[in-house]
Structure 1
Amino acid sequence: MTRPIVYNIALGVFVCTTVLTIVSILTPHWVSYSVTADTGSTFTKYIGLHKSCSSVDDPICRPFPNDDDCRDDQFFCSMWRSSGFLISFATIVELATLITFLVVMAGGKYKRESGWKLIGCFLLADAAVEFASIGIMAYIFDTDSQFSIPGWSLDWSWVLCTVSASVSILLAAGLATSAWLLPPEDDYEYLEDPIDS
């Protein structure tokens, strides 16, 4: 039986993973490039799901991918935008998961006894969507010619999303384990019998 404390801990951890997902969407650090010239100056470029930032561009950041990026390689743009869409969809799944957590936790003993299954399904769905997006991004990084130049690497936004998806799976497993291993909770305490005392 999953206890309220287990739900509280799982909810707290899940809120943190949701923040990781949102940060990975908002920051342009999915793929990065850094090289230092012989003069000592360093050129950097950071690409996110929706914008690209470069140390030599003015303005520093611009929307990505734009029409110029897609003119020669429609496949790249389609895959990149698909990855961005999936991560955005994952945040909707995470919002639904948060609401489900709150409903189950406020619903009393019966909802806590059976609600872990629904929450677990949402957590696994979130992880599946995030891993699909992460996989697309890794595939683009490994196969697209623009990233074959030494100096490119998957950056920390990609790592944050990977951690978020992995923790969602661990939370689903933790809720299932607690439901099977913990004894049922009691809603009342036994009182001493005044006749026997």
Structure 2
Amino acid sequence: MTRVAVYSSALVAFVAATAMTLASIIIPNWIGWQVESPSGKFTKTLGLHRSCSSLDTTCRSFPQEEDCHVDTTYFCSMWRSVSFMMSAAALFELVTLVAFFILITGGKQKRESGWRVMSFLLVLVGILQCASMAIVAYLFDNDDRFFVGWKLSESWILCTVSWSVCMLSAAGICVSAYFLAPEGGYEIIPSERHEG
């Protein structure tokens, strides 16, 4: 059965994964472009909600209308889907954090029966992030706007690490539920017969 130590270890890993998820949403650097020239280094990065360039002093919202009328019409809808799924993943991560605290502080019975819900939440977060990562990788490989010099960047890597941690945590909780001895190690007391 799952123990406090298992949930606590998974919680520590999951807090790190949640921080990576939030960073990947906030930092506008899922796909980046960099070129060196005699006049200096030029960069452009695309985030879920903003695009930044070394030529501009401020970042602009992304995608904008002109970004959606290039040869591929599916780009903006897919990019917005990634943004929605990552926001949903962050919301479910907050729910999962609450579930962790309930299970850790809720007593032995909750820990023994709550591993299914916890594993489900972790897998759900992992699936949302994995799908987001895969869609961005697909767009990177297939959209004509990404040519030589573009690369998948820090936010994409953070998302990848985050969903991997979630899936491994879910697997660890499931394995512990099946293979660890019950918490507390209670033994059955043999009944005594009183002979008169």
Letter of the 1:66 counterpart: Q
Partner of 1:129: 128
**Structure 1 residue 40, shift from structure 2 partner:** 5.0
CA contact (8 A) 1:101 1:119 kept: yes
Partner of 1:21: 21
For 1:72-151, what aligned pairs fall within 5 Å after superposition? 72=70, 73-147=72-146, 149-151=147-149
Question: Is 2:187 the partner of 1:184?
Answer: no
Equivalenced residues, count: 186
Partner of 2:150: 152
Letter of the 1:157 counterpart: S
- Structure 2 distance, partners of 1:128, 1:177, is 19
- Structure 2 distance, partners of 1:170, 1:17, is 11
- Structure 1 distance, partners of 2:33, 2:184, is 57
Letter of the 1:152 counterpart: W
Q: Which residue, out of 157, 165, 168, partners 2:166?
A: 168
Partner of 1:193: none
Structure 2 gap segments, 5+ residues each: 188-196
- Structure 2 distance, partners of 1:187, 1:170, is 27
Give the aligned CA root-mean-square deviation in angstroms.
1.5
CA contact (8 A) 1:109 1:187 kept: no
Partner of 1:71: 69
What is the aligned-residue identity percentage?
A: 48
Q: What are the superposed Cα offsets for residues 65-118 of structure 1, whole Å, 9 maximum, x if unpaired?
A: 112212334311111111111101100111111111111112211111111111
With structure 1 as the length reference, what TM-score do the two structures score?
A: 0.90
